[in-house]
Amino acid sequence: MQSGENFENRILFLGTGTSSGIPVIGCRCAACTSSDPRDRRTRTSALLQTRKSGEAEWGHLLIDSGIDLRYQLLREGAPLVRHVVYTHAHVDHFFGLDELRAIQFVTRMPIHLYASEEVERALRTVYRHLFETGVQKGGGILEVEIHPLEDRFQAGPITLEALPIYHGKLPIHGFRFGNLAYLTDCSFIPDTTWPLLENVGVLVLDMLRKRPHPTHYNLDQALEVIERLKPKEAYFVHMTHDLVHADIEAELPEGVFLAYDGLVVDLPSFDPHQWSRTS
């Protein structure tokens, strides 16, 4: 601890479901009709949070602005998120951006977006009303500032390392924050990224279902990644309705869990402004 101060760092899982969300509209399967709240999975997204010990307010960094963002933020006490980092530009991960307008009504400050060139292109296409002067503007248009993803970068209160991974054939990004690695929508980790995952303590990993899928890890593949990295704890996200929480979790090795909406995992105390891969 270079500064001599103590920090509280954590991840709050806003959503843990695949692109349809669980329950799936019209489905009567065991997961979709389950009374276990952990089987209700909104679209995968998370908040990284940090504060100095003793402070009342958290600093937030949102990973992806999914379709369920409004509901997720209301459920978690309406944190005033001003920074968003994007993994990739699939609908389930970025179609909630406009929900941050309500936050801007309160803070009157722009929302900072951290995005790869490909994600930025998608943002500028889908959210033309934010970027193009020729588009008729209503009241209360969201004001955003886009920042490039770098290998290591400061995103609001938090310093991140970008982790290049593959989602099928699509190159996308996971992120490392201290001893945490967040890898959603992942089906392949290239050789150059494995060293960036060294000493990971808390691994958040895509695990769609038991059956194989071309663009997501299934259970066996996700367990192979965990076996190689040996994190202290691993949490699965982006799960389909093939998985009933209590049934699957009973089958998992020690230290491996299904994440669920609203779950908070505490990370070690490290200065979120100083780069480290603290384990």
Footprint of Zn ion on this chain (CB under 5 A)? 24, 27, 29, 32, 90, 92, 185, 241
Are 259 and 13 spatial neighbours (Cβ–Cβ below 8 Å)? yes
Nearer to Zn ion, 24 or 126 (CB): 24
| Nearest-approach distance from CB 90 to Zn ion, in angstroms | 3
Nearer to Zn ion, 97 or 267 (CB): 97
Are 97 and 127 spatial neighbours (Cβ–Cβ below 8 Å)? yes
Name the 3-class secondary structure at 144.
Answer: strand
Helices (H) and strands (E) in the chain — how many of each? 7, 14
Within a 10 A sphere around the Cβ of 228, how many other Cβ atoms?
A: 10
For residue 3, give Cα distances in angstroms to 57, 114, 269, 271.
20, 27, 12, 8
**How far is Cα 33 from Cα 4, in angstroms, rounded to an integer?**
50
| Nearest-approach distance from CB 134 to Zn ion, in angstroms | 31
| Nearest-approach distance from CB 209 to Zn ion, in angstroms | 11
**How far is Cα 97 from Cα 179, in angstroms, rounded to an integer?**
28
Nearer to Zn ion, 92 or 120 (CB): 92
List Cβ neighbours of 178 (8 Å cut-off, separation of 6 or more). 9, 267, 268, 270, 272, 276, 277, 278
| Nearest-approach distance from CB 210 to Zn ion, in angstroms | 14
Nearer to Zn ion, 186 or 200 (CB): 186
Nearer to Zn ion, 183 or 267 (CB): 183
| Nearest-approach distance from CB 88 to Zn ion, in angstroms | 6
